[in-house]
């Protein structure tokens, strides 16, 4: 029987593992980032050109080319959004496969891990739909009801006491309800932190059902000393992403303000800015996934020491 660890992974251990995993995947991580974000990068570069053409009168608002240009931009924006959302969803699954296969001691070629992630797209979407129906839709309904009660109660208060601060009272009711909603979704994110890894461990098993995934999730969530760390990791990712975005904006502004480059500087600056933001986002996302996976392994071993490290061959068979 494998020895069950008594302590959850420490921050130092987690940072070291994140560094190792990022070093192992940094090249592929960047290639995947460009692959899923190139439409957005091109769009960012096209906007300064269009602005300059409108500014210098090359294309006027009365030009016959303006309507096709607007339609083309609209189609490209829709394509970019759908393309990015779909491939980013697949890529997020692939990043989980990377860390899972590492601890399963399985070597996957990039095309194999991508193939697995692509074939898990629709099962993963079904999980997302389950999450929406179980947790998000009821929250929206309850929130709407509470918000309605809050506003009507505030309106009654204002009418009853003839308060001059009617707008302030109603705004306060709305703000309180928004804070409650944000707090709920933060708790929900922590609650669901291990669900994707449970899915990878049990997908294709004889007793696999989506409802069983949530049952196993509840069992693993009972393990203490993981929820707080998950919250800290999520908060750290959000904070670091804000820093990266700030750096990207400054870099974009610096390149774009080089007078000798003209419009080319703005184009390059915009494209570099988007690339840096997306690379930082995907890197931090993978780091967060690695940190949560270490917690998941610890919690799984606490719940079932003899079965927590079983390799799910059904997942690896999808690479063929």
Euclidean distance between CA atoms 222 and 226, whole angstroms: 9
Q: Which residue has the tokens 């560094």?
A: 19
Tens digit of each residue's pLDDT, the chain (320 residues): 344 455 788 999 999 999 999 999 999 999 999 999 999 999 999 998 888 877 777 776 677 777 888 899 999 999 999 999 999 999 999 999 999 999 999 999 999 999 999 999 999 999 999 999 999 999 888 888 877 776 776 666 666 655 556 566 667 767 877 888 888 898 999 999 999 999 999 999 888 999 999 999 999 998 878 888 999 999 999 999 999 999 999 998 888 887 667 788 889 999 999 999 999 999 999 999 999 999 999 998 888 776 556 789 999 999 98
Spell out the residues 6+ positions from residue 234 whose beta carbon is closer than 8 angstroms to its own.
186, 189, 190, 288
Tokens read off for 209: 């059902």
Distance CA(3)–CA(287), nearest Å, equals 26
* DSSP, residue by residue, 222-276: TSSSSHHHHHHHHHHHHHHHHHHHHHHHHHHHHHHT-GGGTHHHHHHHHHHHHHH
**Helical H runs in 104-165?**
110-119, 121-131, 137-161
CA separation, residue 221 to residues 92, 228, 288 (Å)? 22, 12, 18
pLDDT in tens, 56-115: 777 766 777 778 888 999 999 999 999 999 999 999 999 999 999 999 999 999 999 999
Can you read off the two tokens belonging to residue 199? 């899915």
């Amino acid at each position: 029987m494998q020895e069950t660890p008594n302590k959850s992974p420490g921050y130092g251990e987690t940072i070291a593992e994140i560094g190792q995993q990022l070093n192992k995947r940094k090249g592929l991580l960047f290639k995947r980032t460009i692959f899923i974000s190139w439409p957005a990068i091109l769009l960012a570069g096209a906007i300064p050109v269009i602005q300059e053409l409108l500014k210098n009168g090359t294309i006027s608002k009365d030009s016959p080319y303006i309507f096709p240009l607007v339609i083309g931009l609209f189609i490209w924006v829709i394509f970019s959004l759908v393309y990015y959302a779909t491939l980013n969803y697949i890529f997020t699954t692939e990043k989980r496969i990377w860390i899972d296969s590492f601890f399963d001691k399985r070597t996957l070629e990039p095309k194999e891990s991508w193939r697995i992630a692509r074939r898990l797209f629709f099962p993963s979407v079904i999980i997302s739909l389950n999450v929406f129906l179980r947790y998000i839709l009821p929250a929206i309904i309850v929130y709407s009801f509470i918000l309605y009660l809050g506003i009507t109660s505030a309106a009654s208060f204002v009418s009853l006491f003839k308060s001059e601060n009617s707008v302030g009272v109603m705004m306060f009711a709305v703000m309180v309800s928004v804070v409650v909603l944000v707090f709920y979704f933060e708790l929900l994110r922590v609650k669901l932190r291990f669900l994707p890894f449970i899915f990878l461990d049990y997908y294709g098993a004889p007793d696999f059902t989506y409802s069983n995934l949530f049952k196993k999730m509840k069992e693993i969530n009972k393990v203490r000393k993981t929820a707080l760390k998950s919250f800290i990791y999520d908060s750290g990712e959000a904070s670091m992403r804000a820093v990266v975005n700030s750096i990207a904006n400054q870099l974009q502004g610096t390149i774009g303000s080089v007078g000798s480059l003209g419009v080319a500087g703005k184009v390059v600056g915009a494209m570099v800015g988007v690339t840096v933001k997306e690379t930082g986002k995907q890197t931090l996302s993978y780091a967060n996934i690695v940190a949560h996976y270490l917690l998941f392994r610890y919690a799984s071993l606490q719940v079932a020491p003899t079965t927590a490290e079983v390799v799910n061959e059904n997942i690896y068979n999808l690479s063929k």
